[in-house]
Amino acid sequence: GAVVSQHPSRVICKSGTSVKIECRSLDFQATTMFWYRQFPKQSLMLMATSNEGSKATYEQGVEKDKFLINHASLTLSTLTVTSAHPEDSSFYICSARALVAGAQETQYFGPGTRLLVL
């Protein structure tokens, strides 16, 4: 139980375009999901908290107009990187907070999405 998926797993786009990344909780409902970014050889950095039915809360220094988050259902959160630039190239990882029967309450992470902006 407590499986989180992301789509796509990899994406390459041209500079100036927008890219949408989906995060789904497959076998549980998640009122709260989280988005992280990880640069090579660095740790995960929390970008924002996604709350179902309300606006996301962003960490300091993260531009909310550049990283649009929509949590429209209890199983889906999306992150849209708008007007992407090469410096946005990174590994984006989502997680969902879960209390699942037979599993530990904690955050469960997706497999990540590798974004490369040319």
Partner 1 sequence: LAKTTQPISMDSYEGQEVNITCSHNNIATNDYITWYQQFPSQGPRFIIQGYKTKVTNEVASLFIPADRKSSTLSLPRVSLSDTAVYYCLVDLNFNKFYFGSGTKLNVKP
User: Using the rule CB under 8 A, is 109 a contact of partner 1?
Assistant: yes
Which listed residue (28, 35, 58, 108) binds partner 1 by CB under 8 A? 108
Q: What is the full DSSP assignment across 60-107?
A: TT--TTTEEEEEEETTEEEEEE-S--GGG-EEEEEEEEE--TTS-SEE
User: Using the rule CB under 8 A, is 34 a contact of partner 1?
Assistant: yes
**Sequence letter at residue 97:** R
Which listed residue (16, 17, 111, 118) binds partner 1 by CB under 8 A? 111
User: Using the rule CB under 8 A, is 63 a contact of partner 1?
Assistant: no
- Exposure pattern of 50-69 as b/e (b: 16+ CB <10 Å)? bbbeeebebeeebeeeebbb
Q: Smallest distance, Å, CB 101 to partner 1?
A: 16
User: Using the rule CB under 8 A, is 50 a contact of partner 1?
Assistant: no
Q: Which residues bind partner 1 (CB under 8 A)?
A: 4, 6, 32, 34, 36, 43-46, 49, 91, 93, 95, 97, 104-112, 114
